[in-house]
Amino acid sequence: MVRKKIKSALISVYCKDNLEPVIKTLGKYGVTIYSTGGTFDFIKNITEVHSVESLTGYPSILGGRVKTLHPKVFGGILSRRDNSSDKEDLAKYTIPEIDLVIVDLYPFSETLASGSSHEEIIEKIDIGGISLIRAAAKNYKDVLTVSSRDQYSSLLELLESQSGTVGIEDRIRYAADAFELTAKYDQNISDYFASLLNKEKFALNISPANKLRYGENPHQQGVFYGKLDDIFTRLHGKEISYNNLLDIDSAFALINDFQETTYAVIKHNNACGCASDSEPAKAWEKALAADPVSAFGGIIITNSPVDVEVAEEINKLFFEIILAPEYSNEALNLFKTKKNRIILATKSGKRPTKQFRSVLNGVLLQDIDNVSEDISYLKQVTKKSPTEQEISDLLFANKLVKHSKSNAIVLVKNKQLLASGIGQTSRVDALKQAIEKAKNFGFSLSGAVMASDAFFPFPDCVEIASKEGITAIIQPGGSMRDRESVDLCDQTGLSMAITGYRHFKH
């Protein structure tokens, strides 16, 4: 690979952290440096530097808005070294070639996030910097573009390892990073102006791209775009798959609705086991008991630290992934005895507020369902009031049904999932599925509560529930026939509370 020596550089940066070693290295290799403003003042204390103003013959004007926008700057960056006409123009107008551009951008997004005034936000829209970056990246065949302070360490390593020279692969890689950065920067500005007009728009630029082994099935390709390190730390195990990520997302969404110590087992995006208890070992025992068959090969999540006592019980089950905020050393070492088992330490990072999915030839976008009902949401509609224990169970069940595929019915007793009926085309079928499953695992439904993700169009579910010993029901309400379900509850001695919030999940 033929490398080109860097003979000249233009440096103009907003943030100068960690820049000094780069400047010293450029000076060591005899690179001619041009700079402006505060960067010039910074560099002159380190090595020889020429001001951009001495090159262009023009001072910085308009309060610093115009500094580098000049043919003598952009000509030196954009000139094609193998083009005779370009060479003639450079000679005619005394324009030096520029081989390296180190520029970062005004912190637009940071200024916006800080709550600054509109005027301050506008002043942080970079013009000269982004133009320099685009020009240098466009001419990647001859110019190396460094567009972020995050690249200083890799640039330093590159210069030292190659004695101040760079190859075409290096320039292409840095150019790709530059265009990715400018695309994001412009997108953030576009989003801001759209917000001023209350204009709805959809555009995303998410990186990095993480290629997965495959998609949902082996014949489908899969890629995850985003930074998983912001959500969890992978402590052990094989690479995370497409389906793993879907289950992990469902697990996070569910556990975030619980404050008390809770364990849940997720299979195909639904909870097959879940329980809350002040004692973590009991929470795990009850969560597993709901469906130990489906738990095989599932994903376990908890909002509680895992000690060796609980780990020994969990380790009796074959599972793919466990997520917890922290693990004792003994627990971690025990889990690591399985080479491929994925162990994740969860972080309390910011979760998205929007979700989207591709549909037909477009995209559906909606707010995340972040309503998690507490007792203040409950409206008693029956003559009989739910007991304190039933209220606790109703709220627990409602959290679970919110995160279950529609149509969904959840049965709970003593903050333990007994069974759920999920993904059914009728609510009656969902209830029958839940009842059958609970009985198959030896649970009595006497004194249990029932949650529904949507209203009851007819009172048939109330009738079935009452015959099984279920004593309290929670549902959103909203049916034209709500009264029929309420009346049947009164006739059979059940209590019912409505929340006013439907939780469809498709």
Catalytic sites, residue numbers: 138, 268
Contact 459, 480 (CB under 8 A): no
- Segment holding 118, helix H or strand E: helix 118-123
Q: What is the per-residue burial (b if ≥16 Cβ within 10 Å, else e) of 416-435?
A: bbbbbbbbbeebbebbbbbb
Can you count the helices (H) and strands (E) in the chain?
A: 19, 23
Under DSSP, the state recorded for 8 is: E
Q: Token pair of 26, please?
A: 């450029």
Residue type, 414: N
Beta-ladder partners of 452: 409
Cα–Cα distance between 439 and 445 in angstroms, integer?
Answer: 8
Residue type, 315: N
- Token look-up 């990520």 returns 245
Contact 301, 255 (CB under 8 A): yes
Contact 475, 380 (CB under 8 A): no
Closest CA to 371 of 349, 350, 390, 353: 353
- Segment holding 358, helix H or strand E: strand 354-359
Q: Computed from CA positions of residues 499, 500, 505, 506, in that sequence, does the dihedral angle turn out positive or negative?
A: positive
The Cβ of residue 411 has, within 10 Å, a number of other Cβ atoms equal to 29
- Segment holding 180, helix H or strand E: helix 168-196
- What 3-state DSSP class applies to 365? strand
- Segment holding 195, helix H or strand E: helix 168-196
